[in-house]
Structure 1
């Protein structure tokens, strides 16, 4: 093994001096030596390699930037999905509130119809009782004025009748005294007797009228009490209706507030859905750009 000599490797460049002949590797047109051409080619190759390395570095930087952006978008998508998952109970709550709003609206309509029906019945009853105005305050004032007016008129009439009866009694007494002191003979006595009979009939008629007025006053008092009782009933019904109206107003305000809140939530959900679609489109675009860059690399 030691006696065997290995062949000495010979490169192509070692053979060049032996194979070189003048003018063999020269540019016949410009008379440029081969070494210069080789050096130029090597320089061009190095420049191209540097350019390619620079381009590869730029592409790698761009790929890293795109990967970071994709990672950020994925994180953002995850956060948006989480927010959507968190908003699902809110959507359920909105549906429940919407259903409750519909129920409240139906109840409000029924109560309004009931209130209108009761008001119409009250108006009819008041008209049947002889009073045309439907409002309780006006009825109360009207009843009070009418009652005071009637009582005042009856009191004045009774006082006038009392005075008239008293005057007639005095006159009758005077005539009686004159008749008792005078003789019943003669036309003057007959005339005085006739006047006395007329006065007695007038007194009886006045007493009857007074008794009639007293009966009318006695009848008016129960009517006034009944009217007062009716007014109290109307006031209680009116108060109940006002309470129902207040409840309806509150329910209506709550319904409007919930509808506004529902509309705002709906707009927010639509905005988030559009944002998700935009982010998905951007993600798809970036992923396609990333694949394209990877394929080019």
Structure 2
């Protein structure tokens, strides 16, 4: 089968499309013939890696959409089932293996393109909004990186939840219309959002801020977080750690919550199934959708990574297998 493999850390050139052996399943696993996989920022981070700390050969990819090719023993799945999944060892391949706890059936009404765009960003966003952030209709919220995959999903889910005021931030203000069309009320840049949030809230600040950037954005977020507000931290795409002091939280009764979908997949996978079913239903009914920025064939995975690193896209980047 064809697969994109890397044997060292580095730039996009380390990704090589090769012929490798099709994997074999064990009990509790399924073999999936992949239709599409998505590119996530976590793929970029893993590709670049920590020199001296890697197990090669390595395959990237967090999620996929496809068809069950083979099951092992007694299984709730059958050959031919259309599914999304979080496979074991990457998704940039024609066939992948996934633990049954991390595989979810999808309806015929849901295209493989939309299905492949949704697993990581939609399940993560739903948990961030409703379980970690616990948003209320009366809240004012800030969604950083509003034009990215998670940002696109958070804006739509917040709109469905009738959140009072949705403020999105972007690196390039030319992405403003994109965020507005998804449901954002206000769009501003990382340079101006602190002042704008305070101005829009009569200096009270936002109730909940969703931060995937870290670094300086975290510091600026604390400057416009309301009393009793919550900073939800779930990434560091800036490449730098976010820093705050204990005095930033205890006297103001504010709190910081962290969440990782990767950690949850590893240690508490069953927690994801009811959320997956909810978002699959929303996608199947057409209540939410994810704009597709661009689709690359498997052989051009290098270009897909360069496209993501350019940060000039809106929505999700897919790889067609």
Structure 2-normalised TM-score? 0.18
Higher strand share: 2
* TM-score normalised according to structure 1 size: 0.19
Rg larger in structure: 1
More helix by share: 1
